[in-house]
Structure 1
Amino acid sequence: MTLENVLAQIDADLSPATERLMELLRIQSISTDPAYKPECDKAADWLVADLLTIGIRAEKRPTPGHPMVVGHVGEDLSDVPHVLFYGHYDVQPVDPLDLWDNPPFEPKLEETANGTVIRGRGASDDKGQLMTFVEACRAWKEVHGTLPCRITFFFEGEEESGSPSLIPFMQENAAELKADLALICDTSMVSRGVPSISSQLRGMLKDEFTLVGPRIDLHSGHYGGPGLNPLREISRIVASFYDEETGKIAVDGFYEGVHEVPVDQLRQWEGCGFEEKEYLDNAGYTQAHGEKDYSILEQQWARPTLEVNGIWGGYNGAGSKTVIPSEAHCKITCRLVGDMDPDALRHKIRKHVEARLKPDTKVVWDNDLEGSGASVMNITRPEFESARGALSDEWQREAVFCGMGGSIPIAGFFKSVLGMDAMLVGYANDDDAIHSPNEKYDLKSFHKGIRSWARILDALTK
Structure 2
Amino acid sequence: MTAPAPSALDAVLNHIDADSENAVGRLFELLRIPSISTQPAHAADCRAAAEWFRKDLASLGFSSSTREVKWAAPGHPMVVAHGEGEGTHVLFYGHYDVQPTDPENLWRAPAFEPQLVTDASGRKVIVARGASDDKGQVMTFLEACRAWKEVHGSLPVRVSVLLEGEEECGGSNLLPFLKENAAELKADVVLVCDTAMADRRTPGITTSLRGMMADEVLIECASHDLHSGVYGNAAANPIAVLCNVLATLRDSDGRVTLPGFYDGVKVPDDATRAQWRELFPDDSALLEEAGLSIAAGEKGFTAVEQTWCRPSCEINGISGGYEGEGFKTVLPAKAMAKVSFRLVPGQNPDLIREAFRAHVRALLPADATVTFTPHGGSPGFEVSNGSAYLSPALNALGDEWGVPAVTMGCGGSIPVAGEVREALGLDALMVGFAQADDRIHSPNEQYGLDSFHKGTRSWARILAALADVK
TM exceeds 0.5?
yes
2:308 matched residue in structure 1: 301
Whether 1:355 aligns to 2:365 is no
Aligned to 1:254: 261
Name which of 451, 454, 459 aligns with 1:448. 454
C-alpha displacement at 1:168, in angstroms?
Answer: 0.8
Between the aligned partners of 2:136 and 2:326, the Cα distance in structure 1 is: 42
2:19 to 13, 32, 37: 13
Tell me which residue corresponds to 1:266. 273
**What secondary structure is seen at the aligned counterpart in 2 of 1:407?**
coil
Within a 5 Å distance, the mapping from 1:61-460 to structure 2 comes to 61-63=67-69, 64=72, 65-75=75-85, 77=86, 80-114=87-121, 115-220=123-228, 223-243=231-251, 245-272=252-279, 276-320=283-327, 322-368=329-375, 370-460=376-466
**CA separation in 2, counterparts of 1:21 and 1:309?**
34
SS in 1 for 2:347: coil
Equivalent residues of 1:257, 1:341 under 8 A apart:
no
- Structure 1 distance, partners of 2:276, 2:454, is 24
Q: 1:159 to 1:274 in 2, by over 3 A?
A: farther
Q: Distance in 2 between matches of 1:316 and 1:306?
A: 25
The 2-side partners of 1:233 and 1:382 are apart by 52
1:296 Cα deviation (Å)?
2.1
Letter aligned with residue 417 of structure 1: A
CA distance in 2, matches of 1:236, 1:15: 58
1:91 & 1:327 partners in 2: Cα distance?
A: 35
Report deviation, 1:372. 1.7
CA distance in 1, matches of 2:66, 2:247: 46
Q: For 2:60, which of 50, 54, 58 is the aligned residue?
A: 54
Query: Partners of 1:420 and 1:207 in 2: how far apart?
Result: 30
1:232 Cα deviation (Å)?
Answer: 3.5
Distance 1:276 1:227 in 2: 44
Q: For residues 451 and 419 of structure 1, what CA distance do their matches in structure 2 show?
A: 29
Cα deviation digits, residues 198-220 of structure 1 (max 9, x gap): 22222222222222334444455
Gap change, CA 1:316 and 1:110, over 3 Å in 2: farther
One-letter code of the match for 1:257? G
Deviation at 1:176, TM superposition (A): 0.5
1:121 to 1:319, Cα distance in 2 relative to 1, 3 A: farther
State the secondary structure of the residue aligned to 2:136.
helix
Could you give the per-residue CA deviations for residues 304-323 of structure 1, whole angstroms, max 9, x where no partner exists?
00112222344444445554
Mean Cα deviation higher: 324-333 or 388-397: 324-333
Distance 1:439 1:356 in 2: 43
Q: Does 1:26 align with 2:32?
A: yes
3-state SS of the aligned residue for 2:389? helix
Query: 2:39 and 2:323 mapped to 1: Cα distance?
Result: 22
In the alignment, what sits opposite 2:3? none
Amino acid at match of 2:82: H
Which moves more between the two structures, 39-48 or 97-106? 97-106
CA distance in 1: counterparts of 2:61 and 2:230, whole angstroms: 72
Structure 1: stretches of 5+ with no match in the other structure = none
CA 1:404/1:320 → structure 2, altered by over 3 Å: closer, same or farther? same
Q: Contact 1:190–1:274 at 8 Å: present in 2 too?
A: no
| Partner-residue secondary structure (3-state), 2:213 | strand
Counterpart contact for 2:214–2:374, Cα < 8 Å: no
In 1: Cα distance, 2:179 partner to 2:55 partner? 26
Separation in structure 1 between the aligned mates of residue 322 and residue 44 of structure 2, nearest angstrom: 33
TM-aligned CA distance change 1:122 to 1:210, over 3 Å: farther
User: RMSD value over aligned CA atoms?
Assistant: 2.3
Per mean C-alpha deviation after superposition, the further-off stretch among 425-434 and 249-258 is: 249-258
The percentage of counterpart residues that share the same residue type is 49
- TM-score, normalised relative to structure 2: 0.90
Distance 2:111 2:224 in 1: 39
Count of equivalent residues: 457
Task: Describe the SS at the equivalent of 1:2.
Answer: helix
Local SS of the residue matching 2:437? helix
TM-superposed CA distance for 1:223, in Å, is 4.5
Structure 1 window deviating more from structure 2 (140-149 vs 80-89): it is 140-149
Deviation at 1:22, TM superposition (A): 2.5
- Tell me the alpha carbon deviations over residues 47-95 of structure 1, each in whole angstroms, 9 at most, x when there is no partner: 22222222222111111332211111114x4xx2210001112223334
Secondary structure, in 3 states, of the residue corresponding to 1:358?
Answer: coil
Distance 1:9 1:255, change over 3 A: same
Distance 2:144 2:101 in 1: 29
Query: Post-superposition shift, 1:169?
Result: 0.7
Tell whether the 8 Å contact from 1:249 to 1:306 is kept in structure 2 after alignment: yes
Correspondence for 2:46 = 40
- Greater Cα shift, 114-123 or 23-32: 23-32
Q: Report the alpha carbon displacement of residue 451 of structure 1 after superposing the two structures with TM.
A: 0.7
User: For the residues of structure 1 that align with 2:388 and 2:319, how far apart are their CA atoms?
Assistant: 50
